[in-house]
Chains A and B, each alone.
Chain A
Amino acid sequence: MRYFVKVNGHDHEVVLSERLGELFVEVDGEGMDLVYEEVDALGQVLAIVGDSSFGVSIEGDSRRAGVTIAGHFYDVEIEDERERAALAAARAASVGGGLVKSVMPGVVVSLLVAEGDVVEEGQALLVLEAMKMQNEIAAPTAGEVRLIHVAEGEAVSAGAKLVELEVPAES
């Protein structure tokens, strides 16, 4: 099975193949001499590469995982060949990037724009409070406010849609 693994934004390819009950690991076209041992059901893994030992912690689901080795965190996105094809098709279908999403969970303290307003790039759209700190969420691009998805006082989760901007067509 071939996996496309994005680690901290960098692409890697992993091939796992089983032959006669033995598992072969190949990363970026090179064989890896790897011992992989799950220590518990919580995601603690022992990995030995050659003679180098690593205490690894992994969490997540089949698409997205977080890995910690020696205090460093690695953000992992993983797809197999079938998923990669499906996602590529889905990405191609959704073009245009005027959607402002929340990068953090928080509460909308105040809306600074209304639907129909024309905003400049960097203009504050709303104030989001998280952990009692108020943060101005700025427009990523100039455009017209098409739709506001949230109301003042509303709690939002990370990734929630906040504001949709109509981006003027490139001339």
Chain B
Amino acid sequence: MFDRILVANRGEIALRILRTAREMGIDTVAVYSEFDRRALHVRMAHQAIALGGELPSQSYLVAEKIIDAAKRSGAQAIHPGYGFLAENAKFAAAVTEAGIAWIGPPPGAIEVMGDKITSRRAMQEAGVPLVPGLTDAVADVAEAIEASEGIGYPVAIKAAAGGGGKGIRIVREPSEMESAFRTASGEAVSAFGDGRLYIERYLDQPRHIEVQVLFDAHGDAVHFGERECSIQRRHQKLIEECPSVIIDEVVRAKMGEVALQAGHAVNYEGAGTVEFLWSGGEFFFLEMNTRLQVEHPVTEMVTGVDLVREQLRVAAGEPLGYGQDAIKMHGHSIEVRINAEDTTAGFVPSVGTVKNLRMPGGAGVRVDSCLYRGMEVGLAYDPMLAKVIVHAHDRATAIRRMRRVLEELNVSGVRISAPAALAVLEEEAFQKGEFDTHFLEGLDLSKPRGSEERLVAAVAALYRRHRAADRALAGSGETRRGWRERSRAMTSTYAKVAGRSAKRGKA
């Protein structure tokens, strides 16, 4: 096993990896941009190396800086987390060439699976079921319209180098093609530096089901069942579950087998996720994510496996040491992503400085978070601040537990996605398990659902009155401290209505 690893990431995933490494007695090295110099992952690692620069393009995305940091710190391996350089085959190759172990799949597997066109070809050859569509990129709008006639509308146009919902547009009729093609291509160029687009059938009432797989370097592999990730908006997931209500033992075994088949076809090693679109009992290969997923904790909660630990073991050359029979699923787990966004205004990003922070706790609750008071949330980085995960013996209990958890959670300074997740959990259709990937988009989230408006009005008025009193009582210079003390004593007044007295002041 490694003595020291470098985590080439930030945020909650950097912390997630550092935690397991520390538990395994492995020294940890964090890297950070100038923007992140006070971040939790920097404070929790054994060593921290500055990459310089405020933006990802000046720090976490600069392969040479990361490799230099690994050499300087004596790290024997690099864990890329997700995002940034995690699915960059050139980086993976450069790491190995520098004599450092890569905690991820071989560069060849990343390359084939990272491109939607080459991955479709490889999967077709391996006999993995695919969504009807083209395996070649389309050159222009005219070609896209012609191709779509053959496939049948609605179609999805997707960036060949895509991921994370960027560069994807749904086209329902030929007249929509031009605008969709232009924006998807523009997005693909700016996000991936590659504007190539391809087209496939857009399935009705699809569910996004993905299978967690793990391959060792000796040809052995297991799967850890599925995750249900249909609650998403513009292909950005919000709520994930394990297991899925629509998958039974038989289908689970079949999907798992196909997922392993997909991995074997590209000589996969390490942890990965094979994403499927499920529609009317059929399932089709969507893509393979050659890294740890954001939503991996729900699988961990249900199977009891630490996937990061398994990643480290496999990368160090250890054999799996167990077979498919050893993987057992217990109970139900749900994850909610806490993003900095205003979900009442179309999920627009929210920026600010985190002030108030109250994290949930209690039985069956796991919080993977990079939040701290004083944390700045900017636009240059991913808006995901935290993930809250619950586990319970069945789905209904897990849903009730997650609702309780979201009611406890409190992050101020930025708007967060929790109210939208709460709205989903309160929907009867969600509770019955009747939903598809359009469910979230179909929900009217523009209207806030809180029912305590009168109380809020009273609290807001009192809060404002207190602040005005604070300002009026704040003196200047030498007298300031004395005035503050006095103001505290004076603001301990009493509120009384209908014969009831109550102390009001600062505790």
Please say whether chains A and B are actual partners in one complex.
Answer: yes
Q: Which residues of A contact B (CB under 8 A)?
A: 1, 3, 5, 7-8, 10, 12-14, 16, 18, 21-25, 27-28, 31-39, 41-45, 47-49, 54-59, 62, 65-76, 78, 103-106, 109-110, 124, 127, 129-134, 136, 158
- Contact status A33-B497, CB under 8 Å: yes
B458 x A34 contact (CB < 8 A): yes
Interface residues of B in 336-373 (CB under 8 A from A): 344-346, 348-349, 351, 355-356, 358, 373
A38 / chain B contacts, CB cutoff of 8 Å = 463, 466, 505-507
Contact check, B183 vs A28: say whether CB atoms are below 8 A apart. no
Cross-interface CB contact of A25 among B348, B356, B403, B458, cutoff 8 Å: B458
Contact B379 A22 (CB under 8 A): no
- Among B418, B447, B455, B504, chain A packs the most CB atoms within 10 A around the CB of B455
Given the contacts A14-B457, A16-B462, A127 and B183 also touching, CB distance less than 8 Å: yes
Q: Are the C-beta atoms of B460 and A70 separated by less than 8 Å?
A: no
> Which residues on A sit within 8 Å (CB–CB) of B317?
none
Interface size on B, residues (CB 8 A): 71
Complex: A4 Cα to B440 Cα, angstroms = 34
**With A and B bound together, what is the CA distance between A152 and B161 in angstroms?**
25
Residue of B with least CB distance to A110? B186
Contact with A along B395-434 (1 / 0, CB 8 A): 0000000010011111011010011001000000000000
In the bound complex, residues from chain A placing their C-beta under 8 Å from that of B496 are 22-24
Contacts of B407 in A (CB 8 A): 70-71
Known interface pairs A23-B495, A48-B502, A106-B379; A67-B356 also in contact (CB < 8 Å): no
* Other-chain residue from A37, A54, A103 in contact with B452 (beta carbon distance below 8 A): A54
Known A-B contacts: A41-B506, A71-B422. Give 10 more (CB < 8 A). Answer: A3-B457, A22-B501, A23-B504, A25-B458, A47-B459, A54-B452, A56-B456, A72-B448, A105-B351, A134-B186
Q: Is the CB of B349 within 8 A of A47?
A: no
Binding site for A on B (CB under 8 A): 164-166, 179, 183, 186-187, 190-191, 234, 344-346, 348-349, 351, 355-356, 358, 373, 379, 382-383, 403, 406-410, 412-413, 415, 418-419, 422, 447-468, 493-498, 500-507
Closest to A65 in B: B460
B503 contacts A58, C-beta separation under 8 Å: no
How close is A135's CB to chain B, nearest CB, in angstroms? Answer: 8
When distances are taken between beta carbons in the complex, the residues of chain A under 8 Å from B355 are 42-43, 59
Q: Are A66 and B190 in contact (CB under 8 A)?
A: no
Q: Which of B461, B498, B506 contacts A5 (CB 8 A)?
A: B461
B507 and A3 within 8 A (CB): no
CA separation between A25 and B190, bound complex, in Å?
A: 55
Query: Which chain B residue lies CB-closest to A2?
Result: B461
Which residues does chain A contribute within 8 Å of B191, judged by CB atoms?
132
Residue numbers in B under 8 Å from A23 (CB-CB):
493-496, 504
Q: Which residues of A contact B413 (CB under 8 A)?
A: 59
A20 to B363, CA, bound (A): 48
Docked complex Cα distance between A8 and B453 (Å): 8
Q: Are A67 and B460 in contact (CB under 8 A)?
A: yes
23 contacts between A and B (CB under 8 A): A3-B460, A5-B456, A16-B461, A23-B494, A34-B495, A36-B502, A37-B504, A45-B459, A47-B458, A55-B358, A56-B455, A57-B358, A62-B468, A68-B410, A69-B455, A71-B422, A73-B419, A104-B349, A106-B379, A130-B348, A130-B379, A136-B179, A136-B183
Chain A hits for B356, CB < 8 A: 42-44, 57, 59
The 10 closest A-B pairs by CB, nearest first: A72-B450, A104-B348, A12-B457, A35-B502, A14-B461, A5-B457, A22-B496, A71-B407, A70-B407, A7-B453
Give Cα distance in the complex from A133 to B451, angstroms.
33
A25 to chain B, nearest CB (A): 5
Q: Is the CB of A158 within 8 A of B460?
A: no
User: Are B422 and A72 in contact (CB-based, < 8 A)?
Assistant: yes
A27 and B379 in contact, given A8-B448, A42-B355, A72-B450 (Cβ under 8 angstroms):
no
CA separation between A72 and B457, bound complex, in Å?
14
A1 adjacent to B349 (CB under 8 Å):
no
Checking B463, B464, B500 against A33 with a beta-carbon cut-off of 8 angstroms, the contacting residue is B500
CB of B465 within 8 A of CB of A1, answer yes
Closest chain B residue to A136, Cβ basis: B183
Set of chain B residues within 8 Å of A110, measured between Cβ atoms: 186
Complex Cα gap A88–B412 (Å) = 30
Most buried by B among A7, A56, A68: A68
In the complex where A25-B495, A133-B234 touch, is A103 in contact with B348 (Cβ < 8 A)?
A: yes
Specify the chain B residue showing the minimal Cβ separation from A107.
B379
The residue that B358 contacts in the complex, of A18, A35, A44, A103, with Cβ under 8 A, is A44
| A6 CB, nearest partner CB in chain B, Å | 9
Give min CB distance, A54 to chain B, whole Å: 6
Complex Cα–Cα for A13 and B457 (A)? 8
Q: How far is the CA of A74 from the CA of B451 in the complex (A)?
A: 9
Residue of A nearest to B499 (CB): A33
Point out the residue from B166, B349, B406, B497 that lies within 8 Å of A71, measured CB to CB: B406
Contact A27 B187 (CB under 8 A): no
Task: Establish whether residues A65 and B379, one from each chain, have CB atoms under 8 Å apart when the complex forms.
Answer: no
- Chain B residue nearest to A56 (CB atoms) is B459
Q: Name the A residues within 8 Å of B190 (CB-CB).
A: 109, 129, 132, 134
**Nearest-CB distance from B266 to chain A (Å)?**
27
Question: A133–B493 contact, CB under 8 A?
Answer: no
Question: Which residues of A have CB within 8 Å of B466?
Answer: 38
